[in-house]
């Protein structure tokens, strides 16, 4: 097991991402196992309260994944068939699936070329009378242009799967829209293996999600789901939440090392370093990034395109040149709290030798 307080480096390969777990998480999980109550229980309740306090909101509800969080949020906000939901094309398929789960139509929008977040101007052009919500991911840990998006007068759902602990105008991300969703998947900023959370302005939305996420001992008068978090996951989440500020500080420290070490290269660095929490450290090239990715992986440096495939390409659609350009030229290199300084220097050295 790699302990977060004693970073280590693999002798053969530096992974692109990995969770930062240690003895505290192991002990918390062991305590739950010894209690005999491993399903959803009081530990989940404690985690919800601690997360809400950290976010500065009244209520939070824990669920089984970030995708489940988004699915239930759309349902709780009344999004359904004949509605449209605007999402970026430059994002993972979880957003697409959640919109499709509720029977709504996903409307794909372009990104801003410097931040890789939704372009408010392009979003505005795609709003119709059927538009029920806009899902706004804060890509790679950098806040989207919430000022302009909020002015569009369409309910926003913030997707904070990559940005928990980030801020905008000195206020926590996840507190600007009608609701916000978080993911605690194994490679996310906070890791519980699987798991997610929802916060919302309206207590009614939270109450609906609590009702929808479990079906046991309830009348079968509506479709409900099995989207509960377990006490095992919540125990990990409590520990990870307590370490979140240190996680972000370490990520920013690694990012500064990359920016300093790679500054001589003609590459594009992430925008707004003071606000970025660096879930991913993206590097923009002037050519297709695939050959560089292949060479670095062959040399023991895990790296990847930060988005597997833009959504419009799944549907063989045209008309998203900025998204296409980002997908072609942007790669991400290892950045996580347990990444040792020795490994950071190795990434820098091998990246320079391959450009």
What is the predicted pLDDT for the residue at 20? Answer: 96
CATH architecture of 23-242: 3-Layer(aba) Sandwich (3.40)
Report d(CA 76, CA 167) in Å as an integer: 25
Closest CA to 88 of 25, 150, 139: 139
Q: Establish how many alpha carbons lie within 13 A of residue 252's alpha carbon, considering only the half-sphere containing its beta carbon.
A: 18
The C-alpha atoms of residue 66 and residue 38 are separated, in whole angstroms, by 20
What is residue 273's predicted lDDT score, i.e. its pLDDT?
A: 85
The contacts of residue 248 (CB under 8 Å, 6+ apart) are: 165, 166, 189, 277, 278
Largest CA distance in the chain: 65
Parse the chain into domains and list their residue ranges. 23-242, 244-354
Q: Over range 36-49, report the average pLDDT.
A: 98
Q: Which residues of 306-341 are buried (b: 16+ CB within 10 A; e: fewer)?
A: bbeebbbeeeeeeebebbbebbebbbbbbbbbbbbe
How much is the pLDDT for 11?
A: 59
227-279 tens-digit pLDDT: 999 999 999 999 999 999 999 999 999 999 999 999 999 999 999 888 999 99
Beta bridge partners of 111: 118
Instruction: Give residue 5's pLDDT.
Output: 43
Q: pLDDT per residue over 132-188, tens digit each?
A: 999 999 999 999 999 999 999 999 999 999 999 999 999 999 999 999 999 999 999
Q: What percent of the chain has pLDDT over 70?
A: 97
pLDDT at residue 202 greater than cutoff 90: yes
The model's confidence at residue 44, banded by pLDDT at 50, 70 and 90, is very high
Nearest-CA neighbor of 214 among 101, 72, 42? 72
Give the pLDDT mean for 76-95: 98
Q: Which residues contact 186 (CB under 8 A, 6 or more apart)?
A: 19, 193, 194
pLDDT of residue 12: 83
Helices (H), the chain: 23-35, 42-55, 66-76, 93-101, 120-125, 146-150, 203-212, 231-242, 244-261, 290-298, 311-314, 321-329, 341-354
The answer to whether the CB of 193 falls within 8 A of the CB of 233 is: yes
Residue 4 reports pLDDT greater than 70: no
Q: Evaluate if residue 1 carries a pLDDT over 80.
A: no
For domain 244-354, which CATH number applies: 3.90.1150.10, 3.40.190.10, 3.30.420.10, 3.30.1950.10?
3.90.1150.10
pLDDT value at 9 more than 90: no
Query: Rounded mean pLDDT of the chain?
Result: 96
Rounded distance, CA 194 to CA 190, Å?
10
pLDDT the model gives residue 22: 97
Report the pLDDT value the prediction gives residue 10, as an integer from 0 to 100: 46
Mean pLDDT (whole number) for 87-99: 98
How many whole angstroms separate alpha carbon 151 and alpha carbon 109? 17
Cα dihedral across residues 238, 185, 258, 91: positive or negative: negative
Q: Quick check: 46 pLDDT over 90? A: yes
């Amino acid at each position: 097991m790699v302990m977060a307080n004693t970073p280590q480096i693999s002798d053969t390969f530096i992974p692109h991402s990995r969770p930062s777990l240690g003895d505290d998480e192991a002990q918390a999980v062991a305590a739950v196992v010894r209690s005999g109550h491993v399903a959803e229980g009081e530990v989940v309740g404690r985690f919800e309260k601690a997360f809400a306090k950290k976010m500065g909101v009244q209520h939070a509800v824990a669920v089984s994944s970030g995708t489940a969080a988004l699915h239930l949020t759309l349902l709780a906000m009344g999004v359904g068939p004949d509605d449209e939901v605007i999402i970026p094309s430059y994002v993972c398929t979880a957003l697409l699936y959640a919109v499709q789960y509720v029977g709504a139509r996903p409307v794909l929008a372009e990104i801003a070329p410097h931040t890789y977040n939704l372009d408010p101007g392009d979003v505005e052009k795609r709003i119709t009378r059927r538009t029920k919500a806009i899902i706004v991911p804060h890509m790679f840990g950098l806040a989207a242009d919430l000022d302009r998006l909020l002015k569009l007068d369409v309910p926003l759902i913030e997707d904070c799967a990559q940005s928990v602990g980030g801020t905008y105008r000195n206020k926590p991300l996840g507190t600007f829209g009608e609701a916000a969703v978080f993911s605690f998947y194994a490679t996310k900023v906070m890791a519980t293996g699987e798991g997610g959370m929802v916060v919302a302005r309206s207590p009614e939305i939270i109450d609906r999600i609590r009702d929808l996420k479990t079906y046991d001992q309830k009348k079968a008068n509506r479709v409900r789901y099995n989207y509960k978090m377990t006490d095992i996951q919540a125990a990990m989440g409590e520990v990870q939440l307590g370490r979140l500020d240190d996680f972000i500080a370490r990520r920013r420290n690694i990012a500064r090392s990359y920016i300093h070490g790679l500054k001589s290269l003609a590459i594009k660095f992430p925008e707004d370093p003071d606000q970025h929490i660096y879930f991913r450290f993206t590097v923009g090239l002037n050519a297709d990034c695939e050959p560089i990715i292949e060479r670095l992986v062959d040399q023991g440096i895990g790296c990847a395109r930060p988005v597997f495939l833009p959504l419009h390409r799944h549907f063989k659609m045209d008309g998203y040149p900025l998204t296409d350009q980002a997908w072609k030229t942007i790669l991400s290199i290892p950045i996580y709290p347990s990444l040792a300084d020795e490994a950071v220097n190795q990434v820098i050295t091998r990246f320079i030798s391959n450009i």
